[in-house]
Structure 1
Amino acid sequence: MKKILLLLANGFEAVEASVFTDVLGWNKWEGDGSTEVVTVGLRDKLTCTWNFTVVPEKTVDDIQLDDFDALAIPGGFEEAGFYEDAFNESFLNVIRHFHAGQKPIASICVASLALGKSGILIDRKATTYDHPTSKRKEQLKHFCTNIQNERIVLDDNIITSSNPGTAFDVAFLLLEMLTSKENAHHVKDLMGFT
């Protein structure tokens, strides 16, 4: 069984988290059965961007990072306090741990800024929220010199993406990395995406 740590910052976008629980959950029951998602936060209770309250299964202090095979991080809104958790050293240390082990790391939208802040995007290709009204790509330039104008960027074991609309594609790409292209296609078909 491959365990995926779904790392949630306060102020995360629920839709960006739910794609991982759904795609990897469908795989657990309808795909090859090899994935299990564990929701983890820095706190016992989190508030999503739009005031949806979530209770993660574990806090970072309750887990052994070596027990996990991959990391998934949804983005969120600054106005909802996302960066307070996402830029916290405990949060960043989780990212560094997975990077040191060369394990898959999947991020959606502005979650790539946490990857950048952790230091793992140096000499890597990456992207982040790319709407013309946003300054997030300028912010990412402080952490990454090779910013791509792509919806999704895969650089070795790291996935970054440009907006919430990429969420399902990121989750399916992570599933493919953890299982196989054929299995990811099978789950995608079962979920009505083909």
Structure 2
Amino acid sequence: MSAQKKAIVFLCEGAEEMEFTISVDVLRRAKVEVTVVGVELASDVAVCSRGVKIAPDVKFSESLKADDYDAVIIPGGNGSAKTLGAHEGAKKLIMDFYNSKKIVAFVCAGTLVAKAAGIPSKHTVTSYPAVKGQLDNFYTYSDDRVVVDDNVITSRSPGTSFLFALTIVEQLVDVKVSSLKPA
């Protein structure tokens, strides 16, 4: 039996609640150990894009290492994308995951963080349609709901969050998502 998979999901002010919550929930249902990492939070909780307040498990620390995890997930939301796109430590950690051939997954405006972190232009990505113009001059752009290109997974919006999360599970734990049953 293989070791339990582990993932980081970033949480920032202005994160898109559905993209964050659905990703964490689906991964945990698949028995992935998820660590919610708060980045530059104004208090002990993040105030998300629709006012929902969510508490992280830990705050970002330079001691976080890609070697200790199997995937990193970046939810969208303009506030989240701006914070992570400017956070040198988070961008370095994302690139450590990428360079180690571990899953790096971005949804909605979160795909802007892929570019900011330095994920190479050779990839095909998707994103929230409103940020397409900031990406399609750099990446090959797809209008698909979810795109898997090597170890990079991208998705479009809150409405594609379940498919995004289930795709991560399929890639991470190599199971067919039809075997996941709600608890």
CA displacement at 1:82 relative to structure 2 = 2.8
Matches within 5 A, 1:44-193: 44-61=44-61, 63-77=64-78, 81-87=79-85, 88-130=87-129, 134=130, 136-142=131-137, 144-182=138-176, 184-187=177-180, 190-191=181-182
The one-character-per-residue Cα deviations of 1:40-64 (angstroms, maximum 9, x if unpaired) are 0223532111122222111221533
Matches of 1:152 and 1:40 in 2, distance apart?
24
Matches of 2:164 and 2:81 in 1, distance apart?
21
Paired residue secondary structure (2:50): coil
RMSD (Å), alpha carbons: 1.8
Matches of 1:141 and 1:121 in 2, distance apart?
13
Gaps of 5+ in 2: none
Matches of 1:50 and 1:137 in 2, distance apart?
22
1:25 maps to 28
Q: TM-score, normalised by structure 2?
A: 0.87
1:7 maps to 10
Contact 1:85 1:91 (C-alpha < 8 Å) held by counterparts:
no
Matches of 2:80 and 2:28 in 1, distance apart?
25
CA displacement at 1:159 relative to structure 2 = 0.7
Compared CA separation, residues 191 and 4, structure 1 to 2 (3 A): same
Paired residue secondary structure (2:108): coil
Matches of 2:25 and 2:80 in 1, distance apart?
22
Matches of 1:154 and 1:18 in 2, distance apart?
21
Contact 1:9 1:41 (C-alpha < 8 Å) held by counterparts:
yes
The 10-residue stretch of structure 1 (99-108 or 19-28) with the greater mean CA deviation from structure 2: 19-28
The one of 30, 35, 38 equivalent to 1:38 is: 35
Matches of 1:12 and 1:5 in 2, distance apart?
15
The one-character-per-residue Cα deviations of 1:18-59 (angstroms, maximum 9, x if unpaired) are 11221122122xxxxxx1111002235321111222221112
How many residue pairs match? The answer is: 175
Amino acid at match of 1:139: Q
